[in-house]
A and B are shown apart, each in its own frame.
Chain A
Amino acid sequence: SRTEQERHLRLTTTLYVGNLSFYTTEEQLYELFGRSGDIKRIVMGLDKFRKTPCGFCFVEYFTREDAEMCMRYINGTRLDDRIVRTDWDAGFIEGRQYGRG
């Protein structure tokens, strides 16, 4: 439900990261996003058919505070010459890493 969703967004430690280059690697993402706090995991967004990176990922932090730091300081800065966009995400669920092909 909608309020449930809002509650999740208020407490989540996961961010959706968009506008990445298809060539950006998980390692680069760890380096950049690790600068705002300890990362629990990164899930790369993959092309549904080719299973190759397709420009987005989920970054999950251990704490809400670190995720907030990311929203404050990393959102809107560059990686691989592209401005990365971060947004709160209610939490990664298996299957969501596959983008539209």
Chain B
Amino acid sequence: MSKVVARTGNEAMAEAMRQINPDVVAAYPITPATEIVMIFAKYVADGLVDTNFVAVESEHSAMSACVGASATGARVMTGTSSQGLCLMYEILPIAAALRLPIVMCDVNRAISGPINIHCDHSDTMAARDFGWLQIFSEDSQEAYDSLIQAIRIAEDPRVHLPTMVTTDGFIISHCLDRIEIVEDKEVKEFIGGDRKAANSLLDVKKPVSVGLLDLQDYYFEHRLPVAEAMKNSKKVILEVAEEFAKKFGRKYGLYEGYKLDDAEIAIVALGSTCGTAKVVIDELRAKGIKAGMLKIRVFRPFPAEEIAQALANVKAVAVLDRSDMWAGQGGQVFTEIRSALFEAVKKPQLLNYIYGLGGREIDQPMLRSVFTALQSAEKQPLVQYLGVRE
């Protein structure tokens, strides 16, 4: 039995954390993710969870504590955003290389500078090469559902990789939304008991060393399994999503196609923008324009083959990037998709729009203008900035 409630993205994530009941949470507050851990800390204080909550002095320490705790075999979670995630960067790839299934609530926020607290994807995109699975959410419901699934995915023996589930700062994190919450015992059943780790730092009967110096002769052999696990995780994400759909009725994939099957023009986007885009697409469809969208849910691992296949019959596609990678040839999502399409025999003409930096509004007229441009895509420059003053 599920119940319908009003929750912000942060409240929804904290609720999922309470139901997951992790062994250890180490975190440091940062806008707009503060609330997640603040609400969770109250659950700890009120005795609603069995979690050992570690209040640390920085995000660098938070992720370090998470790595240590996870190496003992504990189920570990944390939450952060923007500069906090940046401070974790040094430790993030260590968590991946040690194959520790830490699950993070990550609220997308622009990175400094200039200093800004609002949504874009620059913090999370900069963490894309650290061996963490990255799942984006369109709304609070997806954040709640994906966080529960993330525990199963990360702890699957075929994966054993840390995972971040993201929401968009303020747009999702602070807006009340109608969501369905499942019962505590159903979440418990879905997760299926304690984490089953093969080794524990605290097991004195089977002493192990973790995270040793690894030079020319072994480092390479320890990095390759991360790439392999990342590849394998696609199958696991889909399996877990299927089981979740059977139990709770909501379906997820690596991506979501919205009116994409017969679309002639389409956008690719991730996060909260997809909700606005769906309204615009419905309007265009009512006028007889074959518009559609490919919403990326999983950015790491990147579903390259799946996306190439899904976009094969579209005439023109605009990839929306809510961050810039300063490469002078478009954003992170665009670069991935362009690369994914390179070998494809049938592929759309591709455009890139970089938009919404530092929380700059993306509204229906702006998205409509993208679809209008797609109708004469051949006349458009490859990369454009959407919604910036000249």
Do A and B assemble together? no
Instruction: Give A residues with C-beta under 8 Å from B.
Output: none
- Write the residues of chain B forming the contact surface with A, with a CB cutoff of 8 angstroms: none
